[in-house]
Structure 1
Amino acid sequence: MATTAHIEKAGGSIGTDERYIENLTRTATIPTELFDNLYLAPKPTARAFANPTPLALAGFIMTTTPLSMQMIGWRGAEGTGAASVGISYFFGGLLMILGGMLEFVIGNTFSMVVFTCFGGFWLASSATLTPAFNAIGHFKTADFPTGAENPQFYDTFGFFYLSMVFLCTIFFICSLRTNIVFAGVFIGLVIAYILLTATYWSIGLGYHLLAGKLQVAAGWVLLFVVAGGWWVFTVGMLASVDFPINLPVGDLSGYIKGASHKKAQAERAASSAHS
């Protein structure tokens, strides 16, 4: 067997095994900066996280829209929301909590708290209407065989809606640093939850006719609320595909200056005074 071999390429000889190996093992130097760029600081595979806000908004509007129409009583609909409890679980609960957790990942505290709180609200409301949780069944008595007629249930559950009034009031105050549409949504929710609290307590007092009117009024307010929700959802979806239409939302961030902005102004003023 020959100790040398030739690699033929286009009819010519490249050289012996030793020469070939020598050619293969030659090293090349590259600048340190180029090495750092290639290996120590690789480019990310994705440019950024997706915007989770439209996902959570979809959960909100797809739950609140049919509920508001049911509360108004269109086409003879029943207004408690029992017929759409599945929607409340999966659109209202699942999507809003998922969207809230994704807002947490990208560092949006306000959106995270709002979406997860409303996701929890929809899950809690759905659980109350689900027989397996026995929330209403707990109020069964000889006089109220199903529990749903017991005024004590409505007197008790009304405090949940009252707590939502407090929560949405804080959300409304915070939203004054965002935009007009969000502020309108939250003030509408404050009014809607006040009306729902009054609805439940009116039933507890036996004022069923008044309770029905209050429920219809709450439904109309929620219809106004979801109109704002649909608007912001549309804005987010158009932006996600770089659509050449920019719908206005009424930016309010320039009207109420943030604490960091005021602190920076104070530091600049102090620096100017010392100079």
Structure 2
Amino acid sequence: MNGVEHRQHNGHHGNPLAHTATNDSSLQYGAFGGQFQPGLYRGPSKQFANPAPLGLSAFALTTFVLSLINMQARGVNEPNLVLAAAFGYGGLVQLCAGMWEMAVGNTFGATALSSYGGFWISFAIILTPGGFGIVTALGGGKSSMFLDSMGFFLMGWFIFTTLLLFCTMRSTVMFFLLFFWLDLAFLLLGVGYLQHSNGAPNSGCIKAGGFFGLLAAFWAWYNAFAGMADSTNSFFTVPVMHFPWSDKGRESRTKVDNSVPRAEATV
């Protein structure tokens, strides 16, 4: 039973995927990427919607654009255009979604979405031409000081994403894979900037980081769709695949149908 079915089964109305954290075992629901929640949760009061799909979508689109640029798709190799999305959508909108996750009691969602919203705003500030003078102060975009500094910046986000990845290992496969691909993207991008030569980051690492960034973007959209789609607005929902060692996975394995007599079951 997925998150939508579970909530409808218990007679809740409104947004079937809105939630808050709880310690009340009688009201707990399984971890689900559509809620950006790796642990047990329960639905909040009706006035709260689920902010996770908004934050996931903001992250996905901005990551999608930058990853294509990192891969130099169609010869585009300058990140100037992504700055608008980084400020407005991946930054501001995702930061707001993180604050709303805090309002509904989701510590993980608030920390992750707000932090990545801050990442995109910081990224845009660094690369804004002439606006903040960061690149110029570091000697220009081809200087070793700038390239090493970007490597430090990206490796810090690799460490942070690894911490979040550990928190998803008892949730769902799709939620885990989102952070797994993103972790690899930050690692390869960070290594690419640190292993620079001739005033440019390592192109192989940057392109590989762009590839894993694309995977992270599509997995973020997947989880966003899982958090929005239900029987009221879609003809289908998408599977999220609970890990067998998760609470929901163990619950599924322990269920046994005793309604069929043993003799009939062997026919």
Give yes or no for TM over 0.5: yes
Tell me what 1:107 maps to.
105
Q: Is 2:148–2:194's contact at 8 Å kept on the other side of the alignment? A: yes
Q: Is 2:142–2:199's contact at 8 Å kept on the other side of the alignment? A: no
The residue type equivalent to 2:211 in the other structure is W
Matched, 1:215 2:202: no
Distance in 2, matches of 1:239 and 1:177, equals: 24
Distance in 2, matches of 1:85 and 1:207, equals: 22
Count of aligned pairs between the two proteins: 203
Tell me what 1:136 maps to.
135
Cα 1:257–1:207 shift into 2, 3 Å: farther
Gapped regions of structure 2 (runs ≥ 5):
1-44, 249-267
Distance in 1, matches of 2:198 and 2:168, equals: 37
**CA positional deviation for 1:255:** 1.6
Which aligned pairs between 1:170-185 and structure 2 lie closer than 5 A?
A: 170-185=163-178
Tell me what 1:249 maps to.
240
Of residues 90-99 and 225-234 in structure 1, the stretch that sits farther from structure 2 once superposed is: 225-234
Tell me what 2:156 maps to.
163
Greater radius of gyration (CA): 1
Tell me what 1:65 maps to.
64
Provide the TM-score with structure 1 as the length reference.
Answer: 0.69
**CA positional deviation for 1:58:** 1.3
Cα 1:128–1:207 shift into 2, 3 Å: closer
Cα 1:120–1:184 shift into 2, 3 Å: same
Q: Is 2:86–2:124's contact at 8 Å kept on the other side of the alignment? A: yes
Cα 1:243–1:48 shift into 2, 3 Å: farther
Q: Is 2:143–2:199's contact at 8 Å kept on the other side of the alignment? A: no
Q: Is 1:151–1:206's contact at 8 Å kept on the other side of the alignment? A: no
For residue 191 of structure 1, the aligned residue among 184, 187, 196 is 184
Distance in 2, matches of 1:48 and 1:222, equals: 34
Matched, 1:228 2:214: no
The Cα RMSD (Å) is: 2.0
Distance in 2, matches of 1:247 and 1:128, equals: 38
**CA positional deviation for 1:251:** 2.0
Of residues 186-195 and 233-242 in structure 1, the stretch that sits farther from structure 2 once superposed is: 233-242
Tell me what 1:262 maps to.
none
**CA positional deviation for 1:94:** 0.7
Distance in 2, matches of 1:55 and 1:136, equals: 31
Matched, 1:149 2:142: yes
**CA positional deviation for 1:65:** 0.9
**CA positional deviation for 1:225:** 1.2
Distance in 2, matches of 1:168 and 1:224, equals: 15
Q: Is 2:171–2:246's contact at 8 Å kept on the other side of the alignment? A: no
Matched, 1:125 2:123: yes
Distance in 1, matches of 2:232 and 2:160, equals: 33
Distance in 2, matches of 1:122 and 1:59, equals: 10
**CA positional deviation for 1:178:** 2.1
Distance in 2, matches of 1:240 and 1:121, equals: 35
Q: Is 1:195–1:215's contact at 8 Å kept on the other side of the alignment? A: yes
Distance in 2, matches of 1:178 and 1:135, equals: 40
Which protein has greater RCO, CA pairs closer than 8 Å, 6+ apart?
Answer: 2
**CA positional deviation for 1:242:** 4.6
Tell me what 1:34 maps to.
none
Distance in 1, matches of 2:170 and 2:80, equals: 36
**CA positional deviation for 1:240:** 8.7
**CA positional deviation for 1:177:** 2.4
